[in-house]
């Protein structure tokens, strides 16, 4: 059985969360409306009509929740700052109550000996900015920079670890192309506009943090999935390559100064993404101290001529008779290893941290206990794969599990449970799951 010490004494173990998924207090203490507050009001967008209010009521319970992080043995607490809590209109007037909340949160982490890792943008854009086009509008870059500067000036003297953006591909594709996440926009024009502005924001954010904060450790995160062709035929192999460009390469390569991967996927040219941004190539790149990788599943793809532009189709785990989680995501630790290796092969990534990994299962509270053996088995497999990758590429410096407690899982509402701690959303009572105790034993062995 592997032990935490197998990863070396300097390896950093953490737990990751995000503001809109846990805080609650969505309409109080001066917070402005975010796109998720608005999106939740649209019928049929979020399962069972759920809403990011009250989520886990973390705004009021942060002290006892951080105490749990400490008890479970993690060293890092990753959280995000809600943009509309500190800048209710996205720009201009500052909500001092919001600024104060994150001061208290950081102070409590430090008092407990936890390292705060602060994500600047984890998907909850202020609604006021969305009305003007949100991430599709070039004006977003100036507003984002204003937000980053405010955060850096407010917290930079005591918080040194920063993550600029959570999964740029995640929110630009789900929110601006497919319309299944906030703000519910669709179409390739919206998507590619959002991609360009996000790629710029990510690097601009890194530069602002660097110039404002002494000794900052600055990263950003990317969702990633090994892309596996369904068969050995050439059409499937090419389909897999296109999906790889889109899902794995679209954001990391401009960040690394390589520009968009348009040589391999000419559609990027067609949508003017390379022409309109070649002049931004410099601006989209920043020398991050670490790159965060977030992995949940591999994607198996097959050529499909009926799908416009990408001409590829996912073959789901269930139809391939592979094990999968409550989200329908394939459990495949080899693919975790493979995608880490794919990113580790970029020569100019300094350090890699796994900034999210975890699984949802249909947990049941029985006699005050949750015996989530499936989740324990999942972590055992994935950590073994991580150790193998770490032993081969020495620049993997940490791992953060997703997530502390069951929370507001975006379009899935409160139905998908990813936590190591069970949340009773009626009473806000927390119950540590068997997997939480497993982590506690793992980290303390
Ligand atoms: C996101 C989290 C989300 C998790 C599970 C990641 O893509 O960053 O906010 O809860 O996946 O779906």
**Where do the structural domains in the chain lie, given as residue ranges?**
4-444
Phi, psi at 158, each rounded to 5°: -120, -20
pLDDT < 70: residue spans in the chain? 272, 274-279
In 156-281, alpha helices (H): 168-176, 188-212, 234-244, 252-255, 267-270, 273-277
Instruction: Tell me what pLDDT residue 328 has.
Output: 98
Given 127, 167, 330, 409, the catalytic residue: 167
Q: Which of 122, 169, 170 to mutate to test the pocket of ligand 1 (most atoms within 8 A of CB)?
A: 170
Instruction: Tell me what pLDDT residue 279 has.
Output: 67
Instruction: Tell me what pLDDT residue 275 has.
Output: 63
Atom number of ligand 1 nearest to Cα 360: 5
Atom number of ligand 1 nearest to Cα 170: 7
Residue 166 Cβ contacting ligand 1 at under 6 Å: yes
Residue 185 Cβ contacting ligand 1 at under 6 Å: no
382 sits in which H/E element: helix 373-392
Instruction: Tell me what pLDDT residue 278 has.
Output: 60
Instruction: Tell me what pLDDT residue 202 has.
Output: 98
The three-class DSSP label of residue 356 is strand
Name, in order, each residue with C-beta under 8 angstroms of 391's C-beta and a sequence gap of 6 or more. Answer: none
The three-class DSSP label of residue 365 is coil
- Tell how far the Cα of 233 is from the centroid of ligand 1, in angstroms: 33
Residue 170 Cβ contacting ligand 1 at under 6 Å: yes
Instruction: Tell me what pLDDT residue 320 has.
Output: 97
Tell me if residue 356 is catalytic.
yes
What would be the CATH architecture of the domain defined by 4-444? Answer: Alpha-Beta Barrel (3.20)
Instruction: Tell me what pLDDT residue 269 has.
Output: 77
- CA 210 – CA 182 distance, rounded (Å): 30
Residue 124 Cβ contacting ligand 1 at under 6 Å: no
Instruction: Tell me what pLDDT residue 276 has.
Output: 61
Instruction: Tell me what pLDDT residue 263 has.
Output: 82
DSSP state of 414: T
Tell me if residue 212 is catalytic.
no
Residue 18 Cβ contacting ligand 1 at under 6 Å: yes
> pLDDT digit string (tens) for 199-211?
999 999 999 999 9
> pLDDT digit string (tens) for 89-119?
999 999 999 999 999 999 999 999 999 999 9
Atom number of ligand 1 nearest to Cα 403: 10
Contact status, residue 143 vs residue 208, Cβ threshold 8 Å:
no
Contact status, residue 121 vs residue 131, Cβ threshold 8 Å:
no
- CA 266 – CA 104 distance, rounded (Å): 49
Residue 408 Cβ contacting ligand 1 at under 6 Å: no
- Tell how far the Cα of 214 is from the centroid of ligand 1, in angstroms: 30
């Amino acid at each position: 059985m592997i032990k935490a010490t197998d990863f070396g004494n300097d390896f950093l173990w953490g737990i990751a969360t995000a503001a809109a998924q846990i805080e609650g207090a969505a309409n109080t203490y001066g917070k402005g409306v975010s796109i998720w507050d608005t999106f939740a009001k649209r019928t049929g967008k979020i399962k069972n009509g759920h809403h990011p209010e009250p989520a886990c009521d973390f705004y009021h319970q942060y002290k006892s929740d951080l105490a749990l992080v400490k008890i479970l043995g993690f060293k890092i607490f990753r959280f995000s700052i809600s943009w509309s809590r500190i800048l209710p209109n996205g720009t201009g007037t500052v909500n001092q109550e919001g600024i104060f909340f994150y001061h208290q949160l950081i102070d409590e982490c430090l008092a407990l000996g936890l390292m705060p890792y602060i994500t600047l943008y984890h998907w909850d854009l202020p609604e006021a900015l969305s009305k003007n086009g949100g991430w599709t509008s070039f004006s977003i870059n100036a507003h984002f920079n204003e937000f980053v500067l405010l955060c850096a000036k407010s917290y930079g003297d005591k918080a040194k670890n920063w993550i600029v953006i959570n999964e740029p591909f995640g929110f630009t594709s789900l929110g601006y192309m497919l319309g299944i996440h906030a703000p519910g926009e669709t179409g390739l024009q919206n998507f590619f506009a959002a991609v360009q502005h996000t790629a710029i924001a990510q690097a601009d954010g890194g530069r602002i943090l660097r110039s404002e904060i002494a000794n900052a450790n600055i990263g950003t995160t990317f969702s990633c999935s090994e892309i596996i062709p369904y068969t050995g035929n050439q059409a499937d192999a090419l389909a897999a390559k296109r999906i790889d460009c889109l899902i794995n390469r679209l954001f990391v390569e401009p960040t690394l100064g390589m520009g968009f991967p348009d040589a391999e996927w000419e559609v990027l040219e067609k949508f003017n993404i390379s022409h309109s941004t070649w002049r931004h190539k410099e601006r989209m790149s920043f020398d991050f101290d670490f790159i965060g990788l977030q992995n949940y599943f591999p994607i198996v793809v097959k050529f499909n001529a009926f799908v416009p532009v990408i001409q590829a189709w996912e073959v789901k785990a269930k139809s391939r008779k592979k094990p999968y989680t409550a989200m329908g995501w394939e459990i495949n630790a080899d693919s975790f290893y493979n995608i880490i290796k794919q990113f580790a092969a970029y020569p100019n990534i300094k350090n890699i941290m796994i900034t999210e990994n975890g699984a949802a299962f249909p947990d049941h509270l029985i006699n005050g206990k949750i015996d989530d053996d499936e989740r324990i088995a999942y972590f055992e497999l994935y950590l073994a794969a991580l150790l193998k990758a770490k032993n081969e590429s020495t620049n993997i410096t940490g791992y953060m599990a997703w997530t502390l407690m069951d929370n507001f899982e975006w379009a899935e509402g409160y139905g998908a449970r990813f936590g190591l701690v069970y949340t009773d959303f009626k009473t806000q009572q927390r119950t540590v799951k068997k997997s939480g105790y497993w982590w506690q034993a793992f980290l303390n062995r």
